[in-house]
Amino acid sequence: MKKSLCPVCDVEVTLENNTEESEIISCPECKTRLVVTSLKMKSAILEEAPKIEEDWGE
């Protein structure tokens, strides 16, 4: 299991084994939408997910 810190509330976030780069997840503590920007063997870098833009959708 890879671990990282929420960039908003600093709580430890555990990522599922099948997590992908660019995946959107929620912080279990503060519920902020986060994006996985980098994945390494045992760690990952999380950033706040980008805000919704005008052309986003289905």
Partner 1 sequence: MVTIGLLHTTIRGDEKLILEAAKKRNVKVKLIDVREEIFNPKNYKIDFDLALERCVSTVKGMQATRFFESLNVPVINSSAVAAICEDKFITSLILQKAKVSTPEFALVFNTKQALKAVEQMGGFPIVIKPPLGSWGRLLAKVNDIDALEAILEHKDVLGSPWQKAYYLQKYVKKPGRDIRAFVIDGKTICAIYRHSPHWITNTARGGIASNFPVTNELSKLAKKASDAVGGGILSLDIFETDHGLEINEINHTTEFKNSERPTGVSISGTIIDYCIGKVKKL
The correct pick among 9, 10, 11, 24 for binding partner 1 (CB under 8 A) is 24
Stretch that binds partner 1, among 4-12, 40-48, 49-57 (CB under 8 A): 49-57
* HSE, side-chain direction, 13 A CA sphere, residue 24: 7
Give CA torsion, residues 23, 11, 17, 45, to 10 deg: 50
Which two structure tokens, joined as six digits, stand for 50?
A: 């980008």
The correct pick among 17, 20, 40, 42 for binding partner 1 (CB under 8 A) is 20
1 near partner 1 (CB under 8 A)? no
17 near partner 1 (CB under 8 A)? no
